[in-house]
Amino acid sequence: MRKYTISILGLALIFCAPSPASQSKAPDPSWDLLKKIVLIPGLSSQEGKVSDFIQSTLPASLKVERDAKANVWFTVGEGHPHLLFVAHSDELGFVIDKITPQGTALLRARGGLLAQTCEARPFVIYTAKGPVDGIIQPRPDYYQSQSSTRAQGQNPTQGQSGAGQNPAPSSPPNPAQKPAPTPVRPQAAPEAFELYFGVSSEQEARALGVAEGNQVIFKKKLVDLAPDIMATRAVDDRAGCAALLAAALQLDWTKVSGKAITFAWDVEEEIGLVGAQALSKILKPDYVFAVDTFVSTDSPLENKRFGNAILGRGAVLRAIDSSNIIPKTEIRKIAELAKKYAIPLQIYNSRGGNDGSVFVPEGAVDIPLSWPGTSAHSFIEKIVKSDLEALTKLIAVIVEDWK
Amino acid sequence: MKKRMIQSILAILFLLFAGAGYSTAQDIKSVVKELFPILSSTGNEDALAAKIEQSLPKNAAKEKDPMGNLYVRFGKGEPRLAVLAALDEFGYIVSGMTQDGYLRLDRAVQPPHSQYDSYLLGHPVMISTSKGPLQGIVAQPAMHLLTRERRDELAKNFSLDLVFLDIGARSEEEARAKGVEILDAVTFWPDLSELANERWAGHALGLKTGCALLLNLAVEMSGMKLSREASLGWMAQTKFPVRGSRSALGAMRAKKKLQPQKVLILDVVAADRDEKSPALGKGPVLVQAKEEASKLKDAIDTIAREKNIPLQYQTGVESTLMNPFLGDTTEVLTLALPVKFLNTPVEVVDFKDVRALKDLILSVIGSGRAK
């Protein structure tokens, strides 16, 4: 009898729970959208194709605007409060700075990647003639550290620096032995990187279509750590773009009244919030919700002193970062909304800036919304599906229920 | 009449399928593409050996030894010429699991240079488990949280002590449920880039191209009439030396098994490193331990000249693959594929070199000059 009472109470709770459009039974498309949008090349200042994708995915009923920089946005409703949600569409990478007489290309960095992780890796160059495969050359002396390891009794191995060359160990191998400490390996500046295409002259490189200004993006692959866990480059901030797109697709925009809602996908965040600055001249929101990565320390090489939002435990309210502090009243408001709609939410502080901070001097309150992401600004930015879905729901309920 | 027609059709079908596998000389590039993603670190060569074995012509006399070496013999008579290539690439093994589900790595053989391990940081890898290949990533700190000091530390002192392999598990139990076990092989993500001028780049691409080339040779040889026996061998554990010696274990075993009179080692050689090193795209490299008269060398020189096959030379190189064959009556030479950026995740090979090397070896086998 007690069992039946609990069941009936449970059913009653389900029917009494708020049921905004964001809680619709339609599957959340954010994960699938992310898998598509993350693969589109869109280096800072060359985001056109990402913007095209966003525009073509948005419902036709929305009046979408686009500026010369490829910022994309739409506004529904009017009056106040005016809520702006913004995710950035650009990603990190390089541009071709100069083509050498030897047919390689020198690079200029767009945003910060750890230099050593770029060496000896495949990249794609987006030229007027189409994508071209290239590799960032390893530093010229990469193999010279061999001599220091040979003295440690390392294995003679096939093809070390020549055909089956034998480093002539003085003792049998000891697999447990650590390699000799790596000799001083100065941090390579991206400007020292050279891109190799397989050619040996400038003329040949140009014949491939390679030219100064081409964007150079890491050859991306989706690493499926589980059906609902993925790692790849540019999750920052294509996950934010996907969450915003998914919310735009799920919301019933005809029900927005007594406030104005703007969704924006802006450019050039990684090189100094440039797109957001352009938008701030047009849009004057009361609240801006920057939708971007929460730099989580839920990773074995990080200090857990702060930022320890756990992957798989829901969306994150980025309460304090390097560019903004959310007022406590607004933190409580978001926390209450999340509780009301049973959205898992973590509240932490971490590092990094966000586009919303640009609007604060103009009078807006900046409330960055996130998912917990590890290894930010790497080739293996990791994300969990349920966190992205929680973020999408949070965006939707704020649109519907913000007073 | 009808019976004869059926017999003819059957004969044609037999001819078509007698070789099975790569019964026709498949373009070497497609063979490389098939072998490239197969993980084959030292001690874990079984999958690559199995793929090669199943692709060999059906009529070839195959043999395998318990260590994983694979041999195929053609022709009859005394064992004369053996062409041998390595099966194993540099790689890692799962050596432990943390309580929170990360995998720790070690290696069975030392890396080719001390920068090698640092290529792992912040990149995906493949793990070979009993349940099949598993994808993982080597954890990297977020850029936003790296101080200059830590950044320098990662650049200067990176080692396997800093490698935590993330497979999306939250506990050791979850990791094991994914099929991971201690000693599972781990290697770099098989990322193949097709560059210009028939040049490709990828991890262990030189080695895999050598394996593919030998397989391609097997297909060609299955259609040749040889007056003496010639054998091909894919050697496992070549990066592991026989204890106390400078000889690769796999090569030592190949010598015992085949007892050849002449040996061609099909290897890789670093290209484009300096003015003295072989050049990519300028043909295969004939490598001698020391400069000395050799009938085998003379034969190769002559064939290369007659057939207009470009050939480069390197001497003074001691090789763990050649060592077992040195010092007795066996004549041994290395014919190597020049590889740019050797022992990095982006080894570059030039298919003009690959074809030239194949033509050269095939001509040596076919000419009988190596007798």
Q: Both B237 and B347 in a single domain?
A: yes
Q: How many domains, in total, are found in chain A?
A: 2
Q: pLDDT class for B59, splitting at 50, 70, 90?
A: confident
Q: Both B183 and B255 in a single domain?
A: no
Is B267 in contact with A179 (Cβ distance < 8 A)? Answer: no
pLDDT value for B288: 84
Q: How many domains, in total, are found in chain B?
A: 2
Is A198 in contact with B348 (Cβ distance < 8 A)? Answer: yes
Is A299 in contact with B141 (Cβ distance < 8 A)? Answer: yes
CB-based contact A96:A211 (threshold 8 Å): yes
Q: Both B133 and B271 in a single domain?
A: no
What ipTM is given for this predicted complex?
A: 0.90
Lowest mean pLDDT among B6-10, B139-143, B168-172: B6-10
Averaged pLDDT score across all residues of chain B? 89
Kindly report, residue by residue over B234-264, the tens digit of the pLDDT. 999 999 877 777 788 889 889 988 889 999 9
**Which structural domain, as residue segments, surrounds residue A128?**
93-140+187-218
Strands A121-127 and A130-136: what pairing? antiparallel
Is A375 in contact with B139 (Cβ distance < 8 A)? Answer: yes
Is B145 in contact with A379 (Cβ distance < 8 A)? Answer: no
Taken in order A338, A343, A347, A353, the sign of the CA dihedral is negative
Cα–Cα distances (Å) from A286 to A29, A62, A67, A75, A289, in that order, read 29, 22, 22, 14, 10
Counted across chains A and B, CB pairs separated by less than 8 A come out at: 304
Lowest mean pLDDT among B7-21, B42-56, B279-293, B316-330: B7-21
Show which of B188, B215, B243 is a domain's final residue.
Answer: B188
Q: Judge whether residue B43 has pLDDT over 50.
A: yes
Lowest mean pLDDT among A179-183, B59-63, B86-90, B212-216: A179-183
Asked if the C-beta of A147 comes within 8 angstroms of chain B's C-beta atoms, the answer is no
pLDDT value for B339: 98
Asked if the C-beta of A59 comes within 8 angstroms of chain B's C-beta atoms, the answer is no
Q: Both A258 and A316 in a single domain?
A: yes
User: Taking residues B157-175, what's their average pLDDT?
Assistant: 96
Q: Compare all CA atoms of chain A with the CA of B348 and give the residue at the minimum distance.
A: A198
Q: Both A238 and A386 in a single domain?
A: yes
Kindly report, residue by residue over B205-219, the tens digit of the pLDDT. 999 999 999 999 999
CA distance A159 to A134: 24
A354, A312, A133: which is closest to B169 by C-alpha? A312
pLDDT value for A285: 98
Closest-CA distance, B97 to chain A, in angstroms, reads 13
Q: Both B233 and B297 in a single domain?
A: yes
Q: What percent of chain B has pLDDT over 70?
A: 92
Geometric angle at alpha carbon A149, from A147 and A155, rounded to 5°: 110
CA distance A12 to A359: 43
Closest-CA distance, B361 to chain A, in angstroms, reads 16
**Which structural domain, as residue segments, surrounds residue B222?**
21-89+203-367
Is A176 in contact with B243 (Cβ distance < 8 A)? Answer: no
| Contacting A residues, span 251-310, partner chain B, CB-CB under 8 Å | 295-297, 299-303, 307
Q: Judge whether residue B224 has pLDDT over 90.
A: no
DSSP letter, residue A67: -
Q: CB B261: neighbour CB atoms within 10 A?
A: 17
A contacts of B102 (beta carbons < 8 Å): 300
Q: Both B63 and B152 in a single domain?
A: no
Q: What is the pTM of this model?
A: 0.88
- A181: nearest CB among B157, B198, B243: B157
pLDDT value for A19: 52
CA distance B166 to A60: 41
Question: Looking at per-residue confidence, does B173 or B221 come out higher?
Answer: B173
Task: Say which CATH number the domain at B119 has.
Answer: 2.40.30.40
Q: Compare all CA atoms of chain B with the CA of A227 and give the residue at the minimum distance.
A: B168
Q: pLDDT class for B229, splitting at 50, 70, 90?
A: confident
Low-confidence ranges of chain A (pLDDT < 70): 1-25, 145-191
Closest-CA distance, B58 to chain A, in angstroms, reads 30
pLDDT value for B148: 87
Closest-CA distance, B231 to chain A, in angstroms, reads 20
- A199: nearest CB among B121, B166, B196: B196
- B323: nearest CB among A166, A181, A312: A166
A34, A37, A41, A46: CA torsion to nearest 10:
-110
Write down the H helix ranges in B259-306: 295-306
Q: Both A86 and A34 in a single domain?
A: yes
Tell me, yes or no, whether A3 lies in a domain.
no
Tell me, yes or no, whether A158 lies in a domain.
no
Tell me, yes or no, whether B3 lies in a domain.
no
pLDDT value for A11: 38
A174, A156, A173: which is closest to A165 by C-alpha? A156
CA distance A314 to B12: 65
Show which of B188, B211, B236 is a domain's final residue.
Answer: B188
pLDDT value for A141: 87
pLDDT value for A158: 38
Q: Judge whether residue B132 has pLDDT over 90.
A: yes
